[in-house]
């Protein structure tokens, strides 16, 4: 089947670099005389037949822009077969020959579901700051999220040192500690709490207090930066804050980075990754591939079946975990 008209969506949480990926898809497709259609707001756009035509002139000067010009959304309706069928009908009505989905695990599950009702090629590009997608070393937006977290920790350390405070820095990641782990290492944080290793509030509090004692024995009174993945502490960070103050008498402050990690201009690593994956996704489709994610391993693009992505957990780097306690002990 000749590939004449290609569609692209950005789905789920936005990530810095999605625009760079859209740009690469558009430029690579246009070089092969393939028309590109961008559906707005992810799967919602497929259901509503809401789209725009993308051209090379439209994506000019786009690589450095955060967010996504196609907008993004989570679509609960896409869990229902009737809406998936409607999306398939709309794609056929619009003479679409292939679809590229830029998003995370949930978006890829939606793509796989769509493939049950639509017999054209579907390729995924991993776009999520969490970096929790199996089969690829990195995901679009992950490096920028780390950079944002590191810059924030660097700045808050100044005020922490001035007042000998404890800061709890809340970073995104849901059930994956990639951002927390690597931003803690890169910023020289004193302690990090990860969903992969969290035991209980009581045990983790003991670990934190033990680390505080050791640091103060080594450096007398000083600041203490604790990086923690969002929604990890039972009952919320205010409970941890109160517990630490009760045990130490030291002023404790909470810094919640929140959605600021999703915004801003993508760093060069995400621009390069997004461009590589967008180009590869079009190339893979031209080569007849479907039902796969365009990933990257050892800096080379690879095709990974959706079923592998869904059924395989992605683990934290074991060496980073091994060295974590050593480099945060005396800092």
Catalytic position from the list 14, 97, 119, 130: 130
CA–CA dist 123, 2 (Å, integer): 16
The SS3 assignment for 98 reads strand
CB 181 within 8 A of CB 194: yes
CB 123 within 8 A of CB 284: yes
CB 281 within 8 A of CB 25: yes
CA–CA dist 160, 163 (Å, integer): 6
CA–CA dist 281, 301 (Å, integer): 9
CB 296 within 8 A of CB 136: yes
Q: In whole angstroms, what separates CA 194 from the centre of its chain? A: 16
Element (H, E) at 268: helix 268-286
Fill in the DSSP letter of residue 266.
P
Per the listing, tokens 């944002």 go with 148
Burial bucket for residue 313 (CB in 10 Å: 0-12, 13-18, 19+): exposed
CB 99 within 8 A of CB 105: no
Q: Which residues contact 211 (CB under 8 A, 6 or more apart)?
A: 190, 191, 224, 328, 329
Q: What are the DSSP calls for 22-73, one per residue?
A: HHHHHHHHHHTT-EEEEETTTHHHHHHT-EEEE-TTTTTT-TT--S-TT---
Cα torsion 291, 27, 45, 295: sign: positive
Whether 130 is catalytic is yes
Catalytic residue numbers read: 130
């Amino acid at each position: 089947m000749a590939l004449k008209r290609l569609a692209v969506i950005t789905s789920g949480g936005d990530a810095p670099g999605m625009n760079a990926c859209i740009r690469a898809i558009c430029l690579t497709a246009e070089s092969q005389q393939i028309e590109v259609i961008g559906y707005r707001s992810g799967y919602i756009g497929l259901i509503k037949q809401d789209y725009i035509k993308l051209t090379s002139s439209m994506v000019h000067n786009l690589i450095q822009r955060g967010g996504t010009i196609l907008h993004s959304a989570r679509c609960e309706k896409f869990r229902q077969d009737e809406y998936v069928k409607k999306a398939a009908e709309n794609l056929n009505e619009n003479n679409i020959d292939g679809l590229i989905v830029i998003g995370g695990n949930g978006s890829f599950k939606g793509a796989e579901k769509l493939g049950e009702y639509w017999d054209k090629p579907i390729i995924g590009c991993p776009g999520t700051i969490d970096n929790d997608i199996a089969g690829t070393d990195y995901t679009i937006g992950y490096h920028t999220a780390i950079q944002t977290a590191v810059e924030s920790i660097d700045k808050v350390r100044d005020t922490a040192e001035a007042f000998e405070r404890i800061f709890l820095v809340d970073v995104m990641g849901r059930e994956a500690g990639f951002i927390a782990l690597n931003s803690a290492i890169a910023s020289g944080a004193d302690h990090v709490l990860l969903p992969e290793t969290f035991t209980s509030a009581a045990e983790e509090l003991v670990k934190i207090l033990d680390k505080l004692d050791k640091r103060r024995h080594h450096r007398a009174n000083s600041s203490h930066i604790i990086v923690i993945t969002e929604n990890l502490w039972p009952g919320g960070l205010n409970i941890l804050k109160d517990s630490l103050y009760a045990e130490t008498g030291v002023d404790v402050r909470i810094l919640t980075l929140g959605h600021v990690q999703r915004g801003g201009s993508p760093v060069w690593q995400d621009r390069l990754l997004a461009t590589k994956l967008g180009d590869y996704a079009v190339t893979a489709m031209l080569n007849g591939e479907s039902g796969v994610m365009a990933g990257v391993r050892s800096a080379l693009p690879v095709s990974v079946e959706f079923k592998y992505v869904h059924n395989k957990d992605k683990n934290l780097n074991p060496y980073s975990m091994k060295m974590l306690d050593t480099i945060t002990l005396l800092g």
